[in-house]
Amino acid sequence: MKLNFNYDGNIACKAILQEQLEKLDIKYQLLDLGQIEIGDDVSEEGLTELQVSLKKYGIQIINNPKGQLIQKIKDAIIEIVYEKDKFPNITISQYLSDKLNFRYGYITNVFSEYTFTSIENFIIIQKIERAKKLIIEEELTLTEISHELNYSSVAYLSTQFKKVTGLTPSMFKRIVGKKRELSNND
Protein backbone atom coordinates (compact mmCIF):
# COMPACT_ATOMS: atom_id res chain seq x y z
CA MET A 1 0.00 0.00 0.00
CA LYS A 2 1.31 3.44 -0.94
CA LEU A 3 0.55 6.40 1.32
CA ASN A 4 0.84 10.03 0.32
CA PHE A 5 1.47 12.63 2.97
CA ASN A 6 2.44 16.21 3.42
CA TYR A 7 4.10 18.01 6.30
CA ASP A 8 5.01 21.45 7.52
CA GLY A 9 8.79 21.60 7.91
CA ASN A 10 8.63 24.21 10.66
CA ILE A 11 6.23 22.15 12.78
CA ALA A 12 8.28 18.99 12.17
CA CYS A 13 11.51 20.75 13.16
CA LYS A 14 9.96 22.15 16.36
CA ALA A 15 8.65 18.70 17.30
CA ILE A 16 12.07 17.10 16.73
CA LEU A 17 13.80 19.82 18.77
CA GLN A 18 11.34 19.45 21.64
CA GLU A 19 11.62 15.66 21.58
CA GLN A 20 15.43 15.67 21.62
CA LEU A 21 15.73 18.41 24.27
CA GLU A 22 13.28 16.60 26.55
CA LYS A 23 15.01 13.26 25.93
CA LEU A 24 18.29 14.83 27.09
CA ASP A 25 16.48 16.55 29.99
CA ILE A 26 17.59 20.03 28.83
CA LYS A 27 15.46 22.95 30.00
CA TYR A 28 14.55 25.18 27.06
CA GLN A 29 12.27 27.87 25.75
CA LEU A 30 11.25 28.15 22.09
CA LEU A 31 11.86 31.65 20.74
CA ASP A 32 11.58 32.78 17.11
CA LEU A 33 11.70 30.38 14.21
CA GLY A 34 15.13 28.74 14.30
CA GLN A 35 15.95 29.85 17.85
CA ILE A 36 15.70 28.30 21.29
CA GLU A 37 17.06 29.39 24.63
CA ILE A 38 18.51 26.66 26.81
CA GLY A 39 19.26 26.69 30.52
CA ASP A 40 22.71 27.75 31.68
CA ASP A 41 23.22 24.45 33.48
CA VAL A 42 23.86 22.43 30.27
CA SER A 43 27.33 20.88 30.15
CA GLU A 44 29.59 20.81 27.09
CA GLU A 45 28.91 17.06 26.87
CA GLY A 46 25.16 17.74 26.92
CA LEU A 47 25.50 20.25 24.07
CA THR A 48 27.63 17.81 22.08
CA GLU A 49 25.07 15.06 22.64
CA LEU A 50 22.30 17.44 21.50
CA GLN A 51 24.28 18.34 18.38
CA VAL A 52 24.81 14.66 17.51
CA SER A 53 21.15 13.75 18.10
CA LEU A 54 19.91 16.68 15.96
CA LYS A 55 22.39 16.02 13.15
CA LYS A 56 20.69 12.74 12.20
CA TYR A 57 17.57 14.82 11.40
CA GLY A 58 19.54 17.33 9.35
CA ILE A 59 19.30 19.99 12.06
CA GLN A 60 22.48 21.88 12.80
CA ILE A 61 23.36 24.22 15.67
CA ILE A 62 24.85 27.39 14.22
CA ASN A 63 27.67 28.86 16.27
CA ASN A 64 29.07 31.64 14.10
CA PRO A 65 27.35 35.06 13.96
CA LYS A 66 27.18 35.28 10.15
CA GLY A 67 25.66 31.80 9.94
CA GLN A 68 23.08 32.89 12.50
CA LEU A 69 22.31 36.03 10.48
CA ILE A 70 21.84 33.98 7.29
CA GLN A 71 19.43 31.66 9.09
CA LYS A 72 17.50 34.67 10.43
CA ILE A 73 17.29 36.11 6.90
CA LYS A 74 15.97 32.80 5.54
CA ASP A 75 13.49 32.46 8.40
CA ALA A 76 12.19 36.02 7.89
CA ILE A 77 11.72 35.42 4.16
CA ILE A 78 9.99 32.07 4.70
CA GLU A 79 7.77 33.68 7.32
CA ILE A 80 6.53 36.42 4.96
CA VAL A 81 6.14 34.06 1.99
CA TYR A 82 4.17 31.43 3.92
CA GLU A 83 2.10 33.65 6.20
CA LYS A 84 0.06 36.01 4.05
CA ASP A 85 -0.83 38.37 6.91
CA LYS A 86 2.90 38.74 7.63
CA PHE A 87 3.60 39.97 4.09
CA PRO A 88 4.90 43.47 4.69
CA ASN A 89 3.28 46.58 3.29
CA ILE A 90 6.81 47.93 2.96
CA THR A 91 9.52 46.62 0.67
CA ILE A 92 11.17 43.36 1.62
CA SER A 93 14.52 45.16 1.85
CA GLN A 94 13.08 47.59 4.43
CA TYR A 95 11.34 44.75 6.27
CA LEU A 96 14.58 42.74 6.56
CA SER A 97 16.58 45.80 7.62
CA ASP A 98 14.06 46.67 10.32
CA LYS A 99 13.64 43.08 11.55
CA LEU A 100 17.36 42.25 11.65
CA ASN A 101 18.73 45.69 12.60
CA PHE A 102 21.30 45.79 9.79
CA ARG A 103 21.62 47.85 6.62
CA TYR A 104 20.15 45.99 3.65
CA GLY A 105 23.45 46.27 1.74
CA TYR A 106 25.24 44.41 4.54
CA ILE A 107 22.47 41.78 4.70
CA THR A 108 22.65 41.08 0.95
CA ASN A 109 26.45 40.93 0.93
CA VAL A 110 26.61 38.42 3.80
CA PHE A 111 23.77 36.35 2.33
CA SER A 112 25.26 36.07 -1.16
CA GLU A 113 28.79 35.53 0.18
CA TYR A 114 27.72 32.47 2.18
CA THR A 115 24.85 31.05 0.10
CA PHE A 116 26.18 31.88 -3.40
CA THR A 117 22.78 33.25 -4.39
CA SER A 118 20.99 36.56 -3.93
CA ILE A 119 18.21 37.30 -1.48
CA GLU A 120 15.97 38.08 -4.46
CA ASN A 121 16.63 34.65 -5.96
CA PHE A 122 15.96 32.97 -2.60
CA ILE A 123 12.64 34.85 -2.35
CA ILE A 124 11.64 33.75 -5.87
CA ILE A 125 12.47 30.11 -5.08
CA GLN A 126 10.44 30.26 -1.84
CA LYS A 127 7.49 31.87 -3.61
CA ILE A 128 7.53 29.22 -6.35
CA GLU A 129 7.72 26.44 -3.73
CA ARG A 130 4.71 28.02 -2.03
CA ALA A 131 2.92 28.29 -5.40
CA LYS A 132 3.53 24.58 -6.02
CA LYS A 133 2.18 23.77 -2.56
CA LEU A 134 -0.92 25.92 -3.19
CA ILE A 135 -1.52 24.22 -6.55
CA ILE A 136 -1.23 20.77 -4.97
CA GLU A 137 -3.06 21.32 -1.69
CA GLU A 138 -5.47 24.18 -2.12
CA GLU A 139 -6.41 23.73 -5.76
CA LEU A 140 -6.59 27.51 -6.16
CA THR A 141 -6.72 29.25 -9.52
CA LEU A 142 -3.53 30.85 -10.81
CA THR A 143 -5.13 34.26 -10.31
CA GLU A 144 -5.79 33.45 -6.65
CA ILE A 145 -2.25 32.11 -6.22
CA SER A 146 -0.65 35.16 -7.85
CA HIS A 147 -2.71 37.40 -5.55
CA GLU A 148 -1.82 35.26 -2.50
CA LEU A 149 1.90 35.58 -3.29
CA ASN A 150 1.75 39.30 -4.06
CA TYR A 151 2.56 38.99 -7.77
CA SER A 152 1.52 41.89 -9.98
CA SER A 153 0.01 39.49 -12.54
CA VAL A 154 -0.54 35.84 -13.41
CA ALA A 155 1.85 36.30 -16.35
CA TYR A 156 4.67 37.35 -14.01
CA LEU A 157 4.02 34.37 -11.71
CA SER A 158 3.98 32.06 -14.75
CA THR A 159 7.26 33.47 -16.06
CA GLN A 160 9.04 32.98 -12.73
CA PHE A 161 7.43 29.55 -12.23
CA LYS A 162 8.72 28.36 -15.60
CA LYS A 163 12.22 29.76 -14.99
CA VAL A 164 12.48 27.88 -11.68
CA THR A 165 10.70 24.60 -12.51
CA GLY A 166 10.96 24.34 -16.29
CA LEU A 167 7.16 23.98 -16.41
CA THR A 168 4.34 26.45 -16.67
CA PRO A 169 1.98 26.45 -13.68
CA SER A 170 -0.75 25.00 -15.94
CA MET A 171 1.48 22.09 -17.00
CA PHE A 172 2.43 21.51 -13.35
CA LYS A 173 -1.25 21.51 -12.38
CA ARG A 174 -2.04 18.94 -15.14
CA ILE A 175 0.82 16.69 -14.00
CA VAL A 176 -0.40 16.85 -10.39
CA GLY A 177 -3.93 16.04 -11.61
CA LYS A 178 -2.70 13.03 -13.62
CA LYS A 179 -0.69 11.74 -10.66
CA ARG A 180 -3.75 12.03 -8.43
CA GLU A 181 -5.85 10.23 -11.01
CA LEU A 182 -3.30 7.39 -11.24
CA SER A 183 -3.05 7.18 -7.43
CA ASN A 184 -6.81 6.95 -7.09
CA ASN A 185 -6.94 4.14 -9.64
CA ASP A 186 -4.43 2.04 -7.63
For residue 87, the model assigns a pLDDT of 58
Containing structural domain, residue 154: 119-186
* Residue 38, phi then psi, degrees to nearest 5: -110, 160
Do 72 and 129 have their domain in common? no
Do 123 and 178 have their domain in common? yes
- pLDDT tens string for the chain (186 positions)? 666 666 777 778 888 888 888 888 888 887 766 677 877 777 788 888 888 888 888 888 777 888 889 988 998 898 888 876 655 567 889 989 998 999 999 999 999 998 899 999 999 999 999 999 998 887 788 899 998 888 889 999 999 999 999 999 989 988 888 888 887 776
CATH of the domain at 174: 1.10.10.60
The DSSP secondary-structure symbol of 86 reads G
127 in any annotated domain: yes
- Distance CA(186)–CA(176), nearest Å, equals 16
Q: What 3-state class would DSSP assign to 29?
A: strand
166 in any annotated domain: yes
4 in any annotated domain: no
Cβ proximity of 50 and 61 under 8 Å: yes
For residue 102, the model assigns a pLDDT of 93
For residue 86, the model assigns a pLDDT of 57
Do 91 and 124 have their domain in common? no
Do 51 and 96 have their domain in common? no
Do 137 and 112 have their domain in common? no
Number of domains in the chain: 3
152 in any annotated domain: yes
Phi and psi based region of residue 74 (left: phi greater than 0; alpha: psi -120 to 50; beta: remaining): alpha
Cβ proximity of 49 and 24 under 8 Å: yes
Do 82 and 44 have their domain in common? no
For residue 2, the model assigns a pLDDT of 65
Do 137 and 177 have their domain in common? yes
124 in any annotated domain: yes
- Distance CA(40)–CA(79), nearest Å, equals 29
163 in any annotated domain: yes
16 in any annotated domain: yes
Q: What's the pTM value of the predicted model, to 2 decimals?
A: 0.70
Do 146 and 172 have their domain in common? yes
Do 110 and 147 have their domain in common? no
For residue 24, the model assigns a pLDDT of 84
Burial class (CB in 10 A: 0-12, 13-18, 19+), 46: middle
- Distance CA(153)–CA(150), nearest Å, equals 9
> One-letter amino acid identity for 185?
N
For residue 119, the model assigns a pLDDT of 95
Do 73 and 52 have their domain in common? no
Domain boundary among the residues 61, 81, 100 is at 61
For residue 9, the model assigns a pLDDT of 72
3 in any annotated domain: no
Do 184 and 134 have their domain in common? yes
Do 54 and 67 have their domain in common? no
